[in-house]
Structure 1
Amino acid sequence: MNDLARTSDAAAAARSDRPLPVPDRRAWVVLAMLWFVYVLNFLDRQLMSILAKPIQDTLNVTDGQLGLIGGLYFAMFYCFIAIPVGWLADRTNRVAVLSLACGIWSAATVACGLSRSYGEFAFARMTVGFGEAGGVPPSYAIITDYFPPGRRGTALGIYNLGPPVGAALGIAFGGAIAAAFNWRYAFIVLGLVGLVAAAVLPMIVKEPRRGALDGVGAKPEKAAFWPTLRMFFSRPTLMLAALGSGATQFVTYGLGNFTTLFLMREKGMTLSEVAVWYALVVGVGMSAGIYVSGRVIDHFTRKSKLVYAMAPVISLSLAIPFYIGFVWAPTWPLALAFLIGPTFLNYFYLSSAVALVQEEVRPEQRVMSGALLLLVMNFIGLGLGPTYVGAASDFFRASHPHNSLQMALFTLVPIYVVAIGLFLWLARIFRRTEARQAA
């Protein structure tokens, strides 16, 4: 009963008609630093897909092998290590865990640039996944303890601008470096920047008191591992949000890990053109979508939780025709024009899922719950999406040697429908709950 009371209090505060509390300057400084680390996190993660063509040429790897490195191999470490890391961070200093994680993934990124074979590169990428497992969940919880209810959707939306900015910078930076020098330099330089950020992080971000903005006492309970695990997987709202997000990420990661290779090999773009035009599409489109989704969530959740489900339903439904146009387009300028739609609309699910999970669980369970959310959605999306697209491209190569990736990407359209169905199921639960409360 105490758990439900805490959750209800936070939800009530978020939806009240009273003026919302204003975060202080310190909260925004912390958010900016965590955002910068997330940019590095995602830049490290995406650099391989951006430099796929020169890596293929140097290390002699197939589309299927690239899919395994960027998908299943990476996700096996990234997803499952996140659970014990989340539990540890819930019981210890979250800032220290984040700093150590940043140091590990940055050192592993340097190792990627020094790799001489497929095996060495694959091992370095798995180590990157091991480090990045401790990056996002602690940050979600730290932000939630710096920003009050009703402001968290916007704060988490700003934080989640890290992936689009990281991806855009990776395309521009990685593409320019590879075109001018060598793909290895991009990994080495980025890794060194991350090592500096890991050292500076604890000087700027101080560990906040858990639940201070949710009315929790001075000494909140420490989260227990198995009860938190059971709580997450037994709650339909949390699981449907995670599964819907996973289905969406199956599309976004499956597409994202092969977009540069697709544009270069089948649409005729050069690496220099990718570094400018594709970077602009990703940076502007994705950033706008994630920021707008955070604002939408904060505005509408003051009256109803239904927006957590309906925002992804509407955005993904609108994205489908643009996605089909992108894959079909005969020239890269037309393909990029269509791609603006999915890059804006595909990511409304992210702010919705993250904000929902952080609001629905107790303060001392937030890091591990965030890690469990990432486990489900990243194992499905990050682990299986690129792996599937790479394998499908190899499969279609015999019958469609000049457009095997196009055929593989077309097969992602039904996954959009699966994601929409899962979020509609979540919406149905919210409607029933609100109807009971109204009665």
Structure 2
Amino acid sequence: GVLFVVYIFNFIDRQILAILLQPIKEDLQISDTALGFLTGFAFAVFYAFAGLPLARVADRWVRRSLIALSLVTWSVMTAASGLARGFADLALARVGVGIGEAGCTPSAHSLLSDYFPPEKRATVLALYACGVPVGVGLGYRLGGWINDAFGWRAAFFVVGLPGVLMALLVRLTVQEPRRGLSERHAGSGRTYSMREVWQFFATLPTGRRISLAVAFHAFAGYGLATWVPTFFVRIHHMTPGELGLWMSWITAVGGALGSFSGGWIADRWVQSQPRARVHVSMIGALLAIPFIVASVLLADHRLALLSFLPATVFGTLWFGPAASIVQDLVPPAMRATASAVFIFILTIIGLGAGPQLIGIVNDWIGTPDAIRYSLLYTAVGMNLSAALFFWLTGKTLVQDLEAKKRLL
């Protein structure tokens, strides 16, 4: 429960910028390309690269302490975003948020995989991943409301500072289990270098393919999560506060339902079909497409927003199944680092390039409705690519699950 709340804080602080893009653009006079950089590579590059050494720390040190320290760091840097006087200041603050958040998910995935056995892993990781849509939804709601009432700078102060108190709760309440506890073995006691983890993961076709599948899916997902609020502000002329009220429940309800359902269905289906977790992810990527198309093309803003609800449900089915596949592929002593490798790939391609490319295309087209078509083509193309790589993952999954036995 505490780790779930931490993940909510994680995504409130990460995604609150999305609902504030238009007022920040108008205040600081920066381009969509610059906004794409702030929401994409400014965060993603440092998040991805910092995650690798921090995951090595997590595989050797007290994971709850690392999560607590990370939470303090990203919370303070989120609050500092409200002090930005220009593009450079805001970019530096985003870098700090990225470095702070890098220590959270690999450590949490490792802890949860030691708490719960493999047959429950997709459901557990899916429940943890519900923190993503809940956090994004709260970020939309709080950011939009505070912006309309007090301005965009106040929004960063209000959502950032409470994380410092949450970090104390993490350190005092989260328990540190023995590694490998859920499989009822103590493991070999061996530790693995970063190079060994990369080499092992890269030699598995399943590891490469599931990482690319999720990266392409995240390209569309982060691109939409970042730019859809701006789309409704520009095209449908909604205020951030009004839009935040809609997007908060659509994202939280749709994402939580999709994330939990994906894990729950996959854990039950996998008992009769070993490729079930891949199939659930692939089906979700395909079913999201028509609803995304409807959301960006419908003229009525209410229908467009409601279409985004099923798109969010189907677009989050992969959270638990894909994360559990990565954890199942590697031995316990590799889990945090393997999670960081997986997150590194999906972050650079998805979180980094997704928002950035849409911003560049917006400026390149240069028309008031450019954002409609940049979102449309990005989402359709990337979801189809993700579905293809999920399908390819299924072709090698069963045999690759046996590979870790060589290391135990």
Aligned: 1:404 with 2:370: yes
Residues 396 and 407, structure 1, Cα contact 8 Å, conserved in 2: no
Residues 86 and 371, structure 1, Cα contact 8 Å, conserved in 2: yes
What is the letter of the counterpart of residue 373 of structure 2?
M
Residues 125 and 319, structure 2, Cα contact 8 Å, conserved in 1: no
Overall identity of the aligned pairs, in %: 32
The residue correspondences of 1:60-139 to structure 2 (distance < 5 A) are: 60-139=29-108
Q: CA deviation at 1:148?
A: 1.8
Residues 178 and 186, structure 2, Cα contact 8 Å, conserved in 1: no
Aligned: 1:231 with 2:197: no
TM-score in terms of structure 2 length:
0.95
Residues 281 and 322, structure 2, Cα contact 8 Å, conserved in 1: no
Q: Deviations over 1:57-108 (max 9, x none)?
A: 2111111101011101211101111111111110111111111111111111
1:337 match:
306
Residues 210 and 220, structure 1, Cα contact 8 Å, conserved in 2: no
Q: CA deviation at 1:134?
A: 0.5
Residues 80 and 375, structure 1, Cα contact 8 Å, conserved in 2: yes
Q: CA deviation at 1:313?
A: 1.4
For 1:418, which of 352, 370, 385 is the aligned residue?
385
Secondary structure at 1:297 match in 2 = helix
Q: CA deviation at 1:205?
A: 0.5
Aligned: 1:194 with 2:148: no
Secondary structure at 1:407 match in 2 = helix
The residue correspondences of 1:357-436 to structure 2 (distance < 5 A) are: 357-397=326-366, 401-412=367-378, 413-430=380-397
Partner Cα separation in structure 1 for residue 231 and residue 189 of structure 2: 50
1:243 match:
212
Identify if the C-alpha distance between structure 1 residues 66 and 433 changes in structure 2 by more than 3 Å, giving closer, same or farther: closer
After TM superposition, the structure 1 stretch with the greater mean CA deviation from structure 2, 422-431 or 216-225, is 216-225
Partner Cα separation in structure 2 for residue 355 and residue 162 of structure 1: 16
Residues 114 and 178, structure 2, Cα contact 8 Å, conserved in 1: yes
Partner Cα separation in structure 2 for residue 181 and residue 324 of structure 1: 34
Residues 319 and 346, structure 1, Cα contact 8 Å, conserved in 2: yes
1:154 match:
123
1:15 match:
none
Residues 18 and 225, structure 2, Cα contact 8 Å, conserved in 1: yes
What is the letter of the counterpart of residue 418 of structure 1?
S
Partner Cα separation in structure 1 for residue 117 and residue 393 of structure 2: 25
Aligned: 1:323 with 2:292: yes
What is the letter of the counterpart of residue 227 of structure 2?
F
Partner Cα separation in structure 2 for residue 363 and residue 48 of structure 1: 36
1:214 match:
183
Tell me the matched-pair count. Answer: 400
What is the letter of the counterpart of residue 403 of structure 1?
D
Residues 177 and 185, structure 1, Cα contact 8 Å, conserved in 2: yes
Cα RMSD over matched residues?
1.5
Partner Cα separation in structure 1 for residue 84 and residue 231 of structure 2: 24
Q: CA deviation at 1:431?
A: 7.0
Deviating runs (4+, > 6 A) in structure 1?
431-434
Identify if the C-alpha distance between structure 1 residues 396 and 218 changes in structure 2 by more than 3 Å, giving closer, same or farther: closer
Q: Deviations over 1:30-58 (max 9, x none)?
A: xx100111100111100111111111121
Residues 322 and 341, structure 1, Cα contact 8 Å, conserved in 2: yes
Partner Cα separation in structure 2 for residue 152 and residue 420 of structure 1: 22
Secondary structure at 1:348 match in 2 = coil
After TM superposition, the structure 1 stretch with the greater mean CA deviation from structure 2, 209-218 or 324-333, is 209-218
2:261 match:
292
Partner Cα separation in structure 2 for residue 332 and residue 278 of structure 1: 12
Residues 75 and 379, structure 1, Cα contact 8 Å, conserved in 2: yes
Secondary structure at 1:116 match in 2 = coil
Q: CA deviation at 1:339?
A: 0.9
Q: Deviations over 1:382-416 (max 9, x none)?
A: 0100000000111111xxx2201012112211221
Partner Cα separation in structure 2 for residue 148 and residue 420 of structure 1: 28
Q: CA deviation at 1:219?
A: 6.6
Residues 284 and 317, structure 2, Cα contact 8 Å, conserved in 1: yes
For 1:164, which of 125, 128, 133 is the aligned residue?
133
1:280 match:
249
Partner Cα separation in structure 2 for residue 309 and residue 168 of structure 1: 27
What is the letter of the counterpart of residue 355 of structure 1?
S
Residues 267 and 277, structure 2, Cα contact 8 Å, conserved in 1: no
Partner Cα separation in structure 2 for residue 51 and residue 291 of structure 1: 28
Partner Cα separation in structure 2 for residue 218 and residue 339 of structure 1: 45
**Unaligned stretches of 5+ residues in structure 2:** 402-408
Partner Cα separation in structure 1 for residue 151 and residue 295 of structure 2: 29
Secondary structure at 2:190 match in 1 = coil
What is the letter of the counterpart of residue 379 of structure 1?
I
Secondary structure at 2:191 match in 1 = coil
Secondary structure at 1:411 match in 2 = helix
Q: Deviations over 1:403-436 (max 9, x none)?
A: 01012112211221111111111122247889xx
Q: Deviations over 1:238-265 (max 9, x none)?
A: 1111110000000001111011110011
Identify if the C-alpha distance between structure 1 residues 314 and 97 changes in structure 2 by more than 3 Å, giving closer, same or farther: same
After TM superposition, the structure 1 stretch with the greater mean CA deviation from structure 2, 303-312 or 258-267, is 303-312
Partner Cα separation in structure 2 for residue 370 and residue 433 of structure 1: 17
**Unaligned stretches of 5+ residues in structure 1:** 1-31, 435-439
TM-score in terms of structure 1 length:
0.89
Secondary structure at 1:150 match in 2 = helix
